[in-house]
Structure 1
Amino acid sequence: MESAEKIEILRQLVKIQSVNGNELAVATYLKTLFDQAGIKCQVLPAGDQRANLVAEVGTGQPVLAVSGHMDTVAVTAAEWNQDPFTLTTVGDQLVGRGSCDMKSGLAALVIAMIELKDHQVPLNGTIRLLATYGEEFAEQGAADLTAAGYMQDVAALMIAEPTGYNICYAQAGSVDVTLTSKGQTAHSSMPKMGNNAVAHLVNALVQIQEKVKTLTAGVRNDVLNTETLFNIDVFHGGNQVNTIPNLAQAQINMRTIPEISNDALIKTFKTTLADYNAANGSDISLHVEMSVHPVVGDPDGRMLRLIQRLGQPYLEQVSFTPAEEKMTQLAAQAMGVLITDKTIPAMGAAGGTDARQFLIDRPLGADYTVFGPGNFTSHQANESISATMYLDFIKLYEELFPAYLNGES
């Protein structure tokens, strides 16, 4: 397959507007490519134009699972210099929504599998692609595939999220909670005639935050280089300055570490709210929107070491701009990792991937890596990917996957 055809596949993927949905169209397009190559492939519809896709090359054990998600985040078109859904070439950069996160990684996986099949490369095992819907919220597609058994016989998992020439092998967990406070409307000159939903929710949040702080104080995960993170991200309440509000709502996100479980944090919310409601005559309820657990892989995993060995020659040929160098160093400092030009670094991250669903039964010690083409433009206007890096990752995957299946280290 020529470079222009590989870029055209990415162009077609970016063209499909899979913003928080419509992954069925992406899966259907990918199935067309696999069908043309004679590769076993299944589209698994999930309703409302959503779907997962599973494809395999090779046979038997070991099974190497590789994965990418088909959805993207939303777009504010006015912030872009061009149509977000038309892949545009600017120098070496390919600009478009999803070009970095993560349709380039997904395309690289697909093309590598097709070329391995076309070139009849011996595979002593199976490469299984798990392409998912809904990763950007709650990782539901990965949860569906895990429940259906597609991870049961997997020896190693690699997700092609954008890392550039870095490896991530650990992610924090995440808990999203919505609190709803119901009260009684009254004129602000007679507050005792009402029940202030906003005031109750504010006071309860202060107590919850203090209880969580007490629970998590001094507890840190060295791989993720973080403690539990608590963020009040959304707050709504009231509609008129001279009226006691009867409704308020807040949404909280927590990034979690293995040392303090999601369940322990949720329990803290529940007990604090129950005590506050009983003492103050309030009506504050809780709904857990999402709870996914942290994943920490094996820092000495065979796949991780193979990536470092086989990827090093590619890294040595890369010429980063000063801005890219600065961003890499800042990210490394934030994660507590020393970046050198001798070894592709392996680190943890506070962000999440589908691995939190794929590895729900083995959150610690799996042979698990995140390694894909990309940079720091994910979720931003004018998101982009280096065409050189995209094409190099395809070649690297074509070396990496057979090496893993053939027992190299």
Structure 2
Amino acid sequence: MVNKYEKVKEVLESKQLIEFTQELIKINSVFNPEDKNANEKRVAQYIFNFLKKEGFEVYIEDAVENRPNVIAYLRGEIPGKTILFEGHTDVVSAGDYCQWTYDPFGGEIVEVNGIKRIYGRGACDTKQNLAAAVFAAKAIKDSKEKFKGNILLCIPCDEEGLMLGIKSFINNGWADNVDAAVICEPEENNICIFQKGALRIKINFYGKMAHGCMPLTGNCPNWAVGRVICEVRRLETFEKYRLGKHEYLGYPSFTPTMIQTPIKGVAQINVIPQDAYLTLDIRTVPGQDHEAIKRQIQGILDEFSSQFREGDDKFTASMEILDDRPWTQTPKEEPVVKSIVKAYQSVLNSEPIYNGVPGATDGTILNSIKGIPVIVTGAGNREVPHQVDEWCEVDEIIETSKIYALTALYYLNEEY
């Protein structure tokens, strides 16, 4: 495909893009609530300084104390729409460093079967895509290519947690005039037009502490935990049967992820605990309603609590909603989808692959709160994030940056 913006691709500084990615990986941005210095602050400041030096209109502000977002604009010569590129600064824990072949915060480039890879925590999720977005905007600026409207970079903290960064970005008004968003996540450059929803629930169970040899003098909450898990599994099976397999997202899931008993204090094998909790990580697909699911879970608790016969353990529980992010869908006819398809074809000279995101992203929040059409795409094998020896192909990062740059120009200049 002939590309009228060939100059933008030519001025994209591929070597500097990869070096920038390496520098981001080298800055440990794992959040540790017990250490006020272990967070995204250093990497955010590094990005802020770079963008400011490059002449961007750039801001830095705390989303929560000591955990900043970076926001930057590249403005066109005449008014128009605003396209947002979003990539988070936080990464998950590297775990046991001894399990890594390469330093998790080394950003090393290694050739594997003739293909160069960059290794490190965040090399796939998602510092390479953050860098690709920054350098896409920089290439447009350096090329002096004319465009209407605005390119907005959102570089938030806490995507891996409760998404406090993007929520702060929205609450502070930065998203008010955004017309479309590209969420920069590792999706093998597939164009993800669906995202699964995420509903996180905590259920607290209450009993009575007693000696393990005299269970009748107490009330063990763990029996209730087991019964609820079995009912949730049945609910999951029913939903899979009812909805079938979604073309891009697969099946919904209801997963018990954490069980703790007692909630506080030391557990002992000969002590009946006084309480327990269970967490559920529920991932939803089109056709599911989160409010209905909440009622179904509450219904399980209510039904069990009313069914216990005389002599049975008493069942008492309360439900707490920890997080609620609905599934999203962006039609193929949306201008941002058409723009990124055209960019993909121009850069890779092939037809794009449509897909869906198996998890929730910051784009889930942008869509559900502000109604912004979102596309999730970027470099990186989608099965590699959060693993030991996380990596991404160097050439794919460069391709992604070019795709982002052309997407912005096609979208803003309405050439889709």
| TM-score band w.r.t. shorter chain | 0.7 to 0.9
Q: 1:185 matched to which residue of 2?
A: 209
Secondary structure in 2 matching 1:73? coil
**In the alignment, what sits opposite 2:359?**
351
Answering whether residue 293 of structure 2 is matched by residue 282 of structure 1, we say no
Counterpart Cα distance in 1 of 2:396 and 2:251: 33
Q: CA deviation at 1:206?
A: 2.7
Preserved contact between residue 302 and residue 367 of structure 1 (Cα < 8 Å): no
Say whether residues 1:62 and 2:81 are aligned partners: yes
1:12-161 equivalence runs, <5 A: 12-20=23-31, 22-59=39-76, 60-76=79-95, 77-91=97-111, 92-161=116-185
How many aligned residue pairs are there? 382
Corresponding residue of 2:274: 246
How many Å separate the matches in 1 of 2:46 and 2:363?
24
Q: 205-214 vs 398-407, which deviates more?
A: 205-214
Matching of residue 408 in structure 1 with residue 415 in structure 2: yes
2:280 partner SS: strand
Normalised to the residue count of structure 1, the TM-score between the two structures is 0.87
Letter in 2 for 1:18: S
Alignment pair present for 1:379 and 2:386? yes
Partners of 1:89 and 1:72 in 2: how far apart?
A: 19
SS of 2:282's equivalent? strand
Alignment correspondent of 2:3 = none
Rounded to whole Å, the distance in 2 between the matches of 1:299 and 1:221 is 20
Separation in 2 of the partners of 1:403 and 1:269?
Answer: 46
Q: Report how far residue 166 of structure 1 moved.
A: 1.1
Distance in 2, matches of 1:51 and 1:289, equals: 23
- CA deviations 1:166-200 (Å, max 9, x no partner) are 11111011011122222112233321111011112
RMSD: 2.2
* Amino acid in structure 1 at the alignment position of 2:63: A
Stretches of structure 1 that go unaligned for 5 or more consecutive residues are 317-341
Residues 164 and 213 of structure 1, relative CA distance in 2, 3 Å threshold? closer
In 2: Cα distance, 1:306 partner to 1:278 partner: 56
Q: Say which is worse superposed, 243-252 or 96-105, in terms of deviation.
A: 243-252
Deviation at 1:285, TM superposition (A): 2.0
Given residue 14 of structure 1, which amino acid in structure 2 is its aligned partner? I
Deviation at 1:20, TM superposition (A): 3.1
CA deviations over 1:231-277 (Å, ceiling 9, x no partner):
11222336344333322221111001242211211122223223433
Deviations 1:368-406 (A, max 9, x none): 211211113211111111111112222332322112111
Instruction: Say which SS state the counterpart of residue 332 (structure 2) adopts.
Output: coil
Task: Look up the match of 2:292.
Answer: 264
Q: Report the CA distance shift for 1:290/1:407 in structure 2 as closer, same or farther (over 3 A).
A: same
TM-score normalised by the chain length of structure 2: 0.85
Instruction: Tell me how far apart the structure 1 counterparts of residues 55 and 239 of structure 2 sit (CA, whole Å).
Output: 55
Q: List runs of 5+ in structure 2 lacking aligned partners.
A: 1-11, 33-38, 309-313
Deviation at 1:25, TM superposition (A): 1.9
